[in-house]
Structure 1
Amino acid sequence: MNKFIYRVQSFYKNHNLSQIRIRQPLYLNKFYSTNSEVAREYDTPIENIRNFSIIAHVDHGKSTLADRLLEITGAIEVNSGKQILDKLQVEKERGITVKAQTASVNYTYKGIKYLLNLIDTPGHVDFSAEVHRSLTPCQGVILIVDANDGVQAQTVANFHLAVKHNLVIVPVINKIDLKYANPDRVVNQLETLFDIKQSDVLKISAKLGTGVSKVLDAVVERIPPPDVCRDKPFRALIFDSWYEKYKGTILLIYIKEGSLSLKQHVVSMYNKKPYEVRTISLLRPSEEVVNKLFAGQIGCISCNLKSSNETIIGDTLHLKDYVTEPLLGFKAPKPMVFSGLYPIEKSEFEVLKTAIEKLILNDSSVTVAMETSVALGQGWRLGFLGLLHMEVFMQRLEQEYGAHSVVTTPSVTYKAKIFGKKNVKQYRTDMISFNNPANFPDPNIVEEFYEPMVLGTIIAPIEHIGTVMNLCFERRGIQQMTKDIGHNRTMFQFLLPLNEIIVDFHDVLKRVTSGYGTFDYEDSGYEPANIVKLNIALNGKVVEEFSTIVHASKARAIGRQICEKMLNILPRQMFEIAIQAIVSGKVLARENLKAYKKDVTAKLYGGDVTRRMKLLAQQAEGKKKMKMIGKICVPRETFINLLKK
């Protein structure tokens, strides 16, 4: 491409074609223009750089504040739209942030020009991995609290996460313009829970722009510049990636040491492969092409990555022929919820596979493993951080790539301690993990089962104490702590089985607390549990695809629900079908699906009643024989209707 441009320019010069204008293709202007207005270098001094994230509970105004900050710094025009950084269709439809977004903006404070790298983060607990990843390149955070709702469960979690990263916290109370706002009450909560001084708290209205400029001033004054070095060879941390149709894989990097220019070759410490840097850009928030990036900056690069397997979030990039050590990144998030994913039609397998590979580039917290089902064919076992995370992933899969799929009921990962004989005098134990009922081990060789637990934090009005506690006890919760945080609000902490909260716990909590209860959880390891495999049998034959893993105390209730559901979705046959829920050979629930029945006595027109009885007896005998030798045909749609969430 460069040789082509050189020849055109040489021809233009040698032939003195001063009156002829050669028009370059648009793609050449975009990627290879030497115009100083397009390709620049922003060599901002390290002491004038500030990297920070905006963190808060759901719907406390993170994205609205980000809009105001972008407007004040001139990155976007005033009234250019709501939630500029929420670019995904699913974010606009649901009104929540599900993907952290970065913007590099300029701000002049006391006559000095600063480069501010802003990262807007999600607020829902299912996307806590996005928050954790976004804090890696930061030296401070803006902690937003709603002036009406006060401190919520995710506020507590985000505060402790920022403290864990040793970040400077700028506390901000938002929505002071609301009719029932009570900033003083929220200030007292911050002081009680986090020991934050009243003088450090800023009070703003992100919607109206009141006091927002003071937030930028506080960022410059309180948050320190990044601890980086520009005199060493290039070294950077990959903390996000995504796929673009014409550029391929794009990497979002935080440069810790040195600088990076076009045409340089970088090496990934994960796969040891060298790549040529094709494009470099800053997010402002739209992409702006630059020639060079320096230590302390956050920017995007494309370097001809052809496969999603060639990159990993948290990996370190360095220059070719330079030996270096990996940067201290962050641990890969641990999936909490697993579900099967299958194409609706077998012919769509490759299309769905390509879509999944592209999407996991942008969502590294999803794990993928191949899986095969007798009923649904070849598919994948996907791991997610929560139920909302799973729903958003499936929605993005359909909206962004047009890939339709069948999703099975979510489950969690269990563990089992298997004992086996090593030799005559010594025994050994092995710990295995499984999240698919098909891999449930034989109870006869299991010493003990374990299920994942979480430490749940609930904040709710004091009048709902009894309701919240009853809900947690119904879900086999163990109370850890109850604390009055003032102003008619109570904070609970319960140790809960993960399997009991992944599907509908949050919705039920909102319902029983009239929408005022908030919930957040964190991993708390594994605890011994009495779990069993619940089998579903049709006329005594177990159908493995219908099996599920449940706690022994709830096996009968869940078995009854499945049998009743199958009674409505399983097509009738020419003979009666017994639907049974079985655990360890014991039938816990049963429903009978009636057979199609022909009126064999319709041709009779009187006479002895024994004739009628004889025909009915012959029909019953025939159906009995058919039931013994007949095979039950379960269509694929039945598996889909039962297995999908």
Structure 2
Amino acid sequence: MAVEQDKIRNFCIIAHIDHGKSTLADRFIQYSHIVEDRQFREQMLDSMDIERERGITIKSQTVNLPYTAEDGNTYVFNLVDTPGHVDFSYEVSRAIYSCEGALLLIDATQGVEAQTLANMYLALEHDLEILPVINKIDLPAADIEGVKEQIEHELGLDPDDAVCISAKTGKNVEELFEHIVKKIPAPSGDLEAAPKALIFDSHYDPYRGVVLYVRVFEGEIKEGDTMLLMSSGASYEIEEVGHLRLKGIPQKSLRAGEIGYVIAGVKTIRDIRVGDTITIKEKPASQPLPGFKEVKPVVYSSIFPVDSNQYEELGKALEKLVLNDASLVYEKTSSVALGFGFKCGFLGLLHLEVVQERLEREFDLAVVFTAPSVQYRITQKDGTIITIETPDEYPDVTKIEKVEEPYIKAIIITPNEYVGGIMNLCMEKRGVQTSLLYLDKKRVELIYEMPLAEVLFDFYDRLKSISRGYASFDYDLIGLRETNLVKLDILVNGKPVDALSQLVFKDNAASRARAICKKLREEIPRHQFKIPIQGAVGSQIIARETISALRKDVTAKCYGGDITRKRKLLEKQKEGKKRMKMVGDVEVPQRAFLSALKASEGSE
């Protein structure tokens, strides 16, 4: 059944983390009755186990909702629920691209936060109509008037347009439906033009191949057409098109302005690129739609299978993950200690953790990740410039002229009582303050320039604990600056473990080395001989821990008698241990790798 363009509303929900996006999406689904009450559960659109456990949205999800308005017309809402975490801002930008409007959700108890601003600017860049929504008005700490003031002063939006709701109790959600119909514009697009549809997401179905999620901007796409992928030039016959109502509802066609899915039996995963344009071979479009800007990874880490026989499986798993997560970048690599693996680029540390958990759960793979690092630019004395992401690429110190590392502009919004603690944290992380602005009587905006590498480890966790969860954080990359970098090697029993090598700022090397050695001492099981664990920069040892040897009581059978007899047995044992130490290899268990990689800087 074709839907008239003026009855369609495409919109996304954008907000800071934990302001209630997924709960509001649940209320929308309940009120449109596309799910029976007995099948309803919380976080309907968060389909991955990891999303439900952590209570966060990682993937943008789309759902098609019918709504009969007060004017008697039936409208179709295409709702896109987006993540709020800074690591998934690429997901948000893709969702925004396929919509005409955005609900900007603001927590009535927390007010406008860093990600609220960042996501609003993203929506404004794409000329979206923004409808402010104040959520959690049922809470005793809700300050509706204060938030309206922030909407006017900090966001520059009309506070009278704001709809006050409680997504949890459902209060005023019906009123919000009416506002969406009136305020958010209907899509435009010529039904007779050459078809153009943008792929904004995809996933792999083992029975049907790649399922593409598309927004049709021009023309019409229907079953039986031969679709053409404009970037790769590959063509496939379309088997099915339809709307997304938690599961696919097949339709005869998708027309300009609609959001839906396309199945075309695509088995060659490499042909599909999120951000590509689909057209129809019989009536091709001349120009593709402008895709999303190419995503640039900021954190690099290598992944290795624990069982080297699973290398091929790991490669296939990454290929399928990239379909569903276009911001993941990977290439082949190898390591002396860990064998063959893949060097990957991520948008942040949470992104890295999510990929690790998805590999373990969805593909049943046991994997080891090396210490995360950023991309450094090195100018050598002969004038050549190289970029490196991993410690094993670090050239000989004598050849280096200068090293540059990426810097970020960090924007922190916090209640004013936590400013002192946050300033100390930023200074400890080599941050330079560029601005301090009192937004109102209670809240302060701090802007710092600091190295990205310092934010990687424990910055976010410590910021949250210092501010009791009230501070919010967002960042933008601002370029490269000169730094004093060293390569930190970790030696176990005198042998360097390449998977634990790290590139660190010189002044932080000793504290980082001590933290890792301490962690390894706790995790590596004792052997029959002493095991030294050392941190080294070049030939200089800067940290050491020792795992004492297991000792068998060889004198247990000596009852009485001369002391020299006991001494002889102990000497013999000592010789054996010395010989064992020379030939004995120390196995570093996987959990020791993981805990060493989590050893946060400065925790001694």
Relative to the length of structure 2, the TM-score reads: 0.91
2:505 partner amino acid: H
Q: Distance in 1 between matches of 2:19 and 2:55?
A: 12
Q: Secondary structure at the match of 1:591?
A: strand
1:564 partner amino acid: K
2:384 partner amino acid: T
Q: Secondary structure at the match of 1:68?
A: helix
1:103 equivalent in structure 2:
63
Q: In 2, are the aligned partners of 1:341 and 1:407 still within 8 Å (CA)?
A: yes
Q: Distance in 2 between matches of 1:623 and 1:89?
A: 49
1:62 equivalent in structure 2:
21
Q: Quick one: structure 1 residues 104 and 541, their matched pair in 2 at CA, closer, same or farther if it must change by over 3 Å?
A: closer
Residue 570 of structure 1 deviates from its aligned partner by 3.9
| 1:178-197 to 2 correspondences below 5 Å | 178-197=139-158
1:144 equivalent in structure 2:
105
Residue 418 of structure 1 deviates from its aligned partner by 2.5
Q: Distance in 2 between matches of 1:244 and 1:74?
A: 27
2:16 partner amino acid: H
Q: Does 1:206 align with 2:160?
A: no
Deviating more after overlay: 185-194 vs 588-597: 588-597
Deviating more after overlay: 252-261 vs 483-492: 483-492
Q: Quick one: structure 1 residues 395 and 599, their matched pair in 2 at CA, closer, same or farther if it must change by over 3 Å?
A: closer
- Deviations 1:102-131 (CA, angstroms, capped at 9, x unpaired): 112233442333332211111111111111
Q: Distance in 2 between matches of 1:341 and 1:317?
A: 33
1:73 equivalent in structure 2:
32
Q: Quick one: structure 1 residues 249 and 173, their matched pair in 2 at CA, closer, same or farther if it must change by over 3 Å?
A: same
1:278 equivalent in structure 2:
239
1:168 equivalent in structure 2:
129
2:184 paired residue among 217, 223, 233: 223
2:84 equivalent in structure 1:
123
- Deviations 1:555-605 (CA, angstroms, capped at 9, x unpaired): 011112222233334455555444332213222122344445566777595
Deviating more after overlay: 103-112 vs 194-203: 103-112
Q: Quick one: structure 1 residues 359 and 73, their matched pair in 2 at CA, closer, same or farther if it must change by over 3 Å?
A: same
Q: Quick one: structure 1 residues 607 and 72, their matched pair in 2 at CA, closer, same or farther if it must change by over 3 Å?
A: closer
Residue 173 of structure 1 deviates from its aligned partner by 0.5
1:17 equivalent in structure 2:
none
Q: Does 1:527 align with 2:459?
A: no
Q: Secondary structure at the match of 2:171?
A: coil
Residue 277 of structure 1 deviates from its aligned partner by 0.3
1:633 equivalent in structure 2:
585
Residue 57 of structure 1 deviates from its aligned partner by 1.1
Q: Distance in 1 between matches of 2:23 and 2:485?
A: 46
Q: Secondary structure at the match of 1:194?
A: coil
Q: Quick one: structure 1 residues 246 and 301, their matched pair in 2 at CA, closer, same or farther if it must change by over 3 Å?
A: same
Q: Quick one: structure 1 residues 619 and 62, their matched pair in 2 at CA, closer, same or farther if it must change by over 3 Å?
A: closer
- Deviations 1:376-431 (CA, angstroms, capped at 9, x unpaired): 222222222222222222223333333332233322222212242xxxxxxx432x
- Deviations 1:419-446 (CA, angstroms, capped at 9, x unpaired): 42xxxxxxx432x222211111222222
Name the count of aligned residue pairs. Answer: 593
Q: Quick one: structure 1 residues 614 and 292, their matched pair in 2 at CA, closer, same or farther if it must change by over 3 Å?
A: closer
- Deviations 1:275-310 (CA, angstroms, capped at 9, x unpaired): 100111101233110111111111101111113211
1:634 partner amino acid: V
| 1:95-494 to 2 correspondences below 5 Å | 95-109=55-69, 110-320=71-281, 322=284, 324-420=286-382, 428-430=383-385, 432-494=386-448
Deviating more after overlay: 225-234 vs 473-482: 225-234
Q: Distance in 2 between matches of 1:174 and 1:356?
A: 38
Which of these two proteins has the greater Rg computed from alpha carbons?
1
2:195 partner amino acid: F
Structure 2, unmatched stretches of 5+, are 599-604
- Deviations 1:494-523 (CA, angstroms, capped at 9, x unpaired): 222222222322221121112222222222
Q: Secondary structure at the match of 2:76?
A: strand
Relative to the length of structure 1, the TM-score reads: 0.86
Residue 375 of structure 1 deviates from its aligned partner by 1.8
Structure 1, unmatched stretches of 5+, are 1-40, 421-427
Q: Quick one: structure 1 residues 598 and 290, their matched pair in 2 at CA, closer, same or farther if it must change by over 3 Å?
A: closer
Q: Quick one: structure 1 residues 562 and 206, their matched pair in 2 at CA, closer, same or farther if it must change by over 3 Å?
A: closer
| 1:617-628 to 2 correspondences below 5 Å | none
Q: In 2, are the aligned partners of 1:407 and 1:643 still within 8 Å (CA)?
A: no
Q: In 2, are the aligned partners of 1:535 and 1:543 still within 8 Å (CA)?
A: yes
Q: Does 1:501 align with 2:462?
A: no
Q: Quick one: structure 1 residues 92 and 323, their matched pair in 2 at CA, closer, same or farther if it must change by over 3 Å?
A: closer
Deviating more after overlay: 635-644 vs 306-315: 635-644
1:233 partner amino acid: A
Q: In 2, are the aligned partners of 1:480 and 1:495 still within 8 Å (CA)?
A: yes
- Deviations 1:305-354 (CA, angstroms, capped at 9, x unpaired): 11321101101111115352111111132222222222222233333333
1:92 equivalent in structure 2:
52
Q: Secondary structure at the match of 2:252?
A: strand
Q: In 1, are the aligned partners of 2:520 and 2:596 still within 8 Å (CA)?
A: no
1:3 equivalent in structure 2:
none
2:65 partner amino acid: V
Q: In 2, are the aligned partners of 1:147 and 1:182 still within 8 Å (CA)?
A: yes
Q: Distance in 1 between matches of 2:478 and 2:126?
A: 20
Residue 268 of structure 1 deviates from its aligned partner by 0.9
Q: Quick one: structure 1 residues 294 and 598, their matched pair in 2 at CA, closer, same or farther if it must change by over 3 Å?
A: closer
